[in-house]
Structure 1
Amino acid sequence: MAGVTVERTVRCTPEEFLALVMDAERYAKIDDKLGHIDWVHRDGDVTQFKFRSRLPGLPGPAPKVVSRMRLTPGERVDIEYAPPPHNRLVRRLSTFAASFVCEPAEDGTKVTRSVEIGFPPALRWLAEPLLRRALRRDVEREIDGAKALLERRK
């Protein structure tokens, strides 16, 4: 499994940060892992969206994925592959879990971003080392982009 956790303090409220995350089309402008978005469906605290995924450091065509984000208001967003019938092929090739956890801090909000991606043994030996080399830098760039976007409005 390749995983990374990045923390930043952002001058905004937890609600403002989590609202940005739940807006998949807006968030895709700062997250290189989110390619073209085909559709977005939001129902209360759950958003599903179909997009072309891009994994940093891995070559090859990017598969289309349907992700599901679940908001715990004011606290966190958890992200995973949407349940069947979506992602039949992707589920055979990988596992995925991610989150944004927000806690009030003296200077705004402490944001903890976590991403974990795993592969079956036949792919693990090749994919995970490549992903490990690039994932931290990519997630840091993503969170720094969100920070810049939200703090620019202040």
Structure 2
Amino acid sequence: MVGVTVEQTVRCAPEEFLAFVLDAERYAEVDSKLGRIDWVRRQDDVTEFKFRSHLPGIPGPGPTLVSRMSLTPGERVDIEYAPPPHNRLARRFSAFAASFVCAPTPEGTKVTRTVDITFKPPLAYLLHPILKRTLPPDVHQEMQEAKQALEQREIT
């Protein structure tokens, strides 16, 4: 497994940060792991979206995936592969989980971003060493860009 956890304080309310994450097309502007978004469907506190994935350090675009984001209002968004019939091939070769956990602070919101990706052998032997090197800086950059996007919007 390759796991990354990044904490970032952002000058905004937790609800504002979580709304930004749930807007998949807008969030793709700060997350290089999200390529072209084909569609987004939202029902209550669940958002699903289909996109072309891109893993840092792995050449070319990755597979087309459908992710499911589940909102706990004011607190967190949990992300996983959408249930069947989506992602049949991805499930055969990998597992994925991610989250954004928000806690209010006097400075704004402390965001804890986690990404966990596991590939099954034989892909694990090839991809895990690359991702252990490339995923942490990618997630750090993503969170820095999310902070900038939200804080710059606050100023304008």
TM-score class, shorter? over 0.9
Match of 1:89? 89
Structure 1 position 122, deviation (Å): 1.0
Structure 1 position 58, deviation (Å): 1.6
Q: Tell me the C-alpha RMSD between the 2 structures.
A: 0.8
Tell me, in whole angstroms, the C-alpha distance in 1 between the residues paired with 2:97 and 2:22: 16
Tell me, in whole angstroms, the C-alpha distance in 2 between the residues paired with 1:48 and 1:153: 26
Percent identity at matched positions? 68
Match of 2:106? 106
Q: 2:110 is paired with a residue of what secondary structure?
A: strand
Q: 2:99 is paired with a residue of what secondary structure?
A: strand
1:31-46 alignment, distance < 5 Å: 31-46=31-46
User: Which runs of 5 or more residues in structure 1 are unaligned?
Assistant: none
Deviation string 1:124-145 (CA, Å, 9 cap, x unpaired) is 1110010110101100111111
Tell me, in whole angstroms, the C-alpha distance in 1 between the residues paired with 2:62 and 2:127: 14
Q: 1:41 is paired with a residue of what secondary structure?
A: strand
1:110-149 alignment, distance < 5 Å: 110-149=110-149
Tell me, in whole angstroms, the C-alpha distance in 2 between the residues paired with 1:55 and 1:91: 16
Structure 1 position 60, deviation (Å): 4.2
Letter in 1 for 2:132: R
Q: 2:67 matched to 1:70?
A: no
User: Which runs of 5 or more residues in structure 2 are unaligned?
Assistant: none
Letter in 2 for 1:82: A
Tell me, in whole angstroms, the C-alpha distance in 2 between the residues paired with 1:60 and 1:108: 37
For normalisation by structure 1, the TM-score amounts to: 0.98
Letter in 1 for 2:80: E
Q: Quick one: structure 1 residues 44 and 107, their matched pair in 2 at CA, closer, same or farther if it must change by over 3 Å? A: same
Q: 2:122 is paired with a residue of what secondary structure?
A: helix
Q: 1:153 is paired with a residue of what secondary structure?
A: helix
Match of 2:49? 49
Letter in 2 for 1:137: P
After TM superposition, the runs of 4+ consecutive aligned structure 1 residues lying more than 3 A away are: none
